[in-house]
Structure 1
Amino acid sequence: MGESAVYTADVLLIGAGIIGAACAYRLGERGLKVRILEAASAPAMGSTGKSAAGVRVQFSEPTNILLSWESIQEYRQMPEAAYRPIGYLFLVPESEWPQHHKAVELQRSLGVAVEELCLEDAQHIVEFNPKGLAGATYGPADGVVDPHGITMEYLRRSRTLGVELHLEAELLRAFRQGGVWRVETRRATFEAPYILNAAGAWAGEVGKRARLEIPVQPARRLVFATAPTGWKHNYPLTIDLASGFWFRSEGERVIFGKSNLAEVGFSTGMDWAWLEPTLEAGLDRFPWLAKTALDRKASWWGYYEVTPDHNPILGRMPGVEGWVNACGFSGHGVQQAAAVGRLMAEEIAEGRAATLNIDPLRYERFSSRARVAERNIV
């Protein structure tokens, strides 16, 4: 690309993570000319590639349940997704049981199989200290996938539909002019009637460069890994809702973590000081973790893209012609990407998403009292 080159499209899609790739594929199916602008030197280098790879339907709000459930159905049919239904096990404190029970009733009413377990039955799945707990819930269709494999497959399908991927194409400035968005990068300029912001942890910064306020911030999250344990295990992704500590099997290892909710911004590297409070919470509930050894080289970090209510921002930007958001997933992007791709294609090609009501996740909620009160945030 020369410096004076101008490339046109119907949609400029910012970000080649799993959300951007799914959206590109579905837009390409609609016959739209799509160009993906990715700041990194390869796809899936941000939150997608650093994800703990879980997919679950155990949410408390209908929109989140359905976004995840419909995505899991698609991943089941995609060999590249490497979907493994290892399950999610929630250990629920006494104070949270009434609300959690209501969430299970909602999940079941939407056609999702979720089980309520007494503490004794839950102990047959994972050994834990039952102090302060009322019960557990288990989602047998929840599990893990290969986010990188899914992203690359969507991009492969996209290429067959004429979608073009531009790497090292960081959006430096974007402005609306003559009925199109004009995007400037270091190598070229791009023009299209639509921009779809799927920039993940960088979505807020992308908005600023277009003089838009998009409430998405990066938040570093750490995944600690043990050395091979020396015993056979197939632990589901288990979450102690009392502390926020989670873990699951990863081959012969156990991976685990706990979100530092005070951390916001582009911090980099492993925060080893956070290991102590993480382990303190983990050992209190799961004393057997003391038998494991940490493998620092196998541990990793990445970013959540968080919004004020920890729910994504989907759909058209109010009062801004041709700008659509699919960002702010707050750790739920991998598990909702397949459904979001279809919905954003509807939003752009048909004028409005139709197969699922995304109104609770639209930008307008931030200027009203109609916030989505999702309780099952990890």
Structure 2
Amino acid sequence: MSVATDADVIVLGAGIVGAACAWRLAERGLRVQVLEREAVPAAGSTGRSAAGVRHQFSEEANILLSMASIAEYRTMPESDYRPTGYLFLVPQAQWDAHERAAALQRMHGIPVRTLSPAEAAGLVPATTEGLRGATFCPIDGVVDPHGICMTYAARARALGASFAFSCEAVGIGHDGSRWQVEGRSGRFRAPLLVNAAGAWAGGVAALAGLDLPVGPARRMVWTSAPLPDGFGMALPCPLTVDLGSGFWFRSERDRLIFGLANPADTGFSEGIDWEWLEPTWTAGSERFEWFAELAVDRRACWWGYYENTPDHNPVLGRRPGAEGWIDACGFSGHGVQHAAAVGRLIAQEALGEPSFIDIEALRIGRFSAPGATGGGERLVV
């Protein structure tokens, strides 16, 4: 049997969340061992993200996670942070809740503007039927998740962290003092383990005999052909979400990328679901009449996994009854937006320090409480 590699903490996953955790843990002087099932960092959901970052959340913990993370990304040249804004088009039925969320965001100093339907259509041409209003935040925008992840991984390595690639965890146990992980290319031991395995986090927990309600959901990102000269909308445009249908789009250089979540598309299905293009196209054309004139570049479309929880909020922190196990997963489409803050929080959790953001509402114990399966932040762009 091979000799086990010892560390202070094992991080499972080298996506943007795992890399952020590895850097911050190594920064605090811990010996960090990262295991990644793919051959390189950012090869899973991180590299396939739509790359939006926003402050416009309805729950305070998520607002604070975004504030801290985007503040960090703004200082990183590698993040390519572009404040193109987020525009939410809100139907009457959702207006009161959305307006309360905007008030909470402004309470934290976020410059969110409430717009009339006509004002929103002045930013992005849209039919206003059924809309009650809109919100717009100019400091929301897009980043380069791959660049951020690779930077975090490089910083972790510079501080002594080790990375084992093509090393999927296939067995996890605990000997009373340390977690023991059997990987495809070695054995590893540490008193602390951080589960940052993204869409695979539920399966990783199951290897250790733990129940974790995190599962994969496939999402498509469709890409238009280059927009023609004289296209009737200024670029870059904000990431725009029609809350009535869930359809979203944003500009990427001279193209648009767009999507619509299929709630039935769960599990580890692979590849692009071309049949889902038609309902996505229909939803876009109903709100944005000009959308029907676009062409799709089939070679430039892609797909990826989201890591969903029942309430669409992440699972963070130590797990009662599993000494040294720390969750950093279940972001339900918000991992890129919150990774920077989560790296700091997990380092504090590992060292037993108070969290700089209150994460009590995001701990695993909430799922054992009565009625703890609904609500949450359902938007995933």
Instruction: Give TM class, smaller chain.
Output: over 0.9
Deviation at 1:233, TM superposition (A): 2.3
Deviation at 1:377, TM superposition (A): 2.1
Q: Select the residue among 284, 307, 319 that pairs with 2:321.
A: 319
* Alignment of 1:112 onto 2:110: yes
Aligned pairs for 1:1-378 (under 5 A) are: 4-230=2-228, 231=231, 233-349=235-351, 351-369=352-370, 371=372, 373-375=375-377, 377-378=379-380
Q: Could you tell me whether the CA contact under 8 Å between 1:15 and 1:197 is conserved in 2? A: yes
Mapped to 2, the partners of 1:175 and 1:90 lie a distance apart of 46
CA RMSD of aligned residues (A): 1.2
2:323 aligned counterpart, secondary structure: coil
Deviation at 1:374, TM superposition (A): 2.6
User: Given the two structures, how large is their TM-score scaled by the length of structure 2?
Assistant: 0.96
Q: Could you tell me whether the CA contact under 8 Å between 2:118 and 2:128 is conserved in 1? A: no
- 1:257 partner letter: G
Deviation at 1:208, TM superposition (A): 1.0
Mapped to 2, the partners of 1:101 and 1:91 lie a distance apart of 12
- 1:227 partner letter: A
Deviation at 1:178, TM superposition (A): 3.9
Mapped to 2, the partners of 1:173 and 1:126 lie a distance apart of 51
- 2:76 partner letter: M
After superposition, the C-alpha distances for 1:29-53 in whole angstroms (9 at most, x for unaligned) are 1100000000111110000000000
Mapped to 2, the partners of 1:251 and 1:233 lie a distance apart of 8
Mapped to 1, the partners of 2:354 and 2:194 lie a distance apart of 14
After superposition, the C-alpha distances for 1:285-329 in whole angstroms (9 at most, x for unaligned) are 001011110111000000000011111000011211110000000
Mapped to 1, the partners of 2:55 and 2:320 lie a distance apart of 29
Question: What's the % identity of the aligned pairs?
Answer: 56
1:124 aligned counterpart, secondary structure: helix
Q: Could you tell me whether the CA contact under 8 Å between 2:51 and 2:144 is conserved in 1? A: yes
Q: Could you tell me whether the CA contact under 8 Å between 1:60 and 1:376 is conserved in 2? A: no
Mapped to 2, the partners of 1:113 and 1:5 lie a distance apart of 55
Deviation at 1:210, TM superposition (A): 1.1
After superposition, the C-alpha distances for 1:21-78 in whole angstroms (9 at most, x for unaligned) are 0001110111000000001111100000000000001110000011011100000000
Decide whether aligned partners of structure 1 residues 236 and 145 sit closer, same or farther in structure 2, where only a CA change above 3 A counts.
Answer: same
Decide whether aligned partners of structure 1 residues 76 and 56 sit closer, same or farther in structure 2, where only a CA change above 3 A counts.
Answer: same
Mapped to 2, the partners of 1:340 and 1:61 lie a distance apart of 16
Deviation at 1:134, TM superposition (A): 0.5
Mapped to 2, the partners of 1:24 and 1:370 lie a distance apart of 34
Q: Could you tell me whether the CA contact under 8 Å between 1:25 and 1:158 is conserved in 2? A: yes
Mapped to 1, the partners of 2:371 and 2:337 lie a distance apart of 24
- 1:299 partner letter: C
After superposition, the C-alpha distances for 1:74-111 in whole angstroms (9 at most, x for unaligned) are 00000000000000000000111111110000001112
1:80 aligned counterpart, secondary structure: helix
User: Given the two structures, how large is their TM-score scaled by the length of structure 1?
Assistant: 0.97
Q: Could you tell me whether the CA contact under 8 Å between 1:90 and 1:241 is conserved in 2? A: yes
After superposition, the C-alpha distances for 1:265-296 in whole angstroms (9 at most, x for unaligned) are 00000001101111111100001011110111
- 1:114 partner letter: V
- 1:98 partner letter: D
Deviation at 1:352, TM superposition (A): 4.6
Mapped to 1, the partners of 2:304 and 2:371 lie a distance apart of 31
Decide whether aligned partners of structure 1 residues 179 and 34 sit closer, same or farther in structure 2, where only a CA change above 3 A counts.
Answer: same
- 2:187 partner letter: T
Which segment is superposed worse, 116-125 or 62-71? 116-125
Mapped to 2, the partners of 1:348 and 1:370 lie a distance apart of 30
Mapped to 2, the partners of 1:5 and 1:277 lie a distance apart of 53
2:307 aligned counterpart, secondary structure: strand
Q: Could you tell me whether the CA contact under 8 Å between 1:220 and 1:301 is conserved in 2? A: yes
Mapped to 2, the partners of 1:374 and 1:215 lie a distance apart of 14
Mapped to 2, the partners of 1:315 and 1:189 lie a distance apart of 24
Q: Could you tell me whether the CA contact under 8 Å between 2:345 and 2:355 is conserved in 1? A: yes
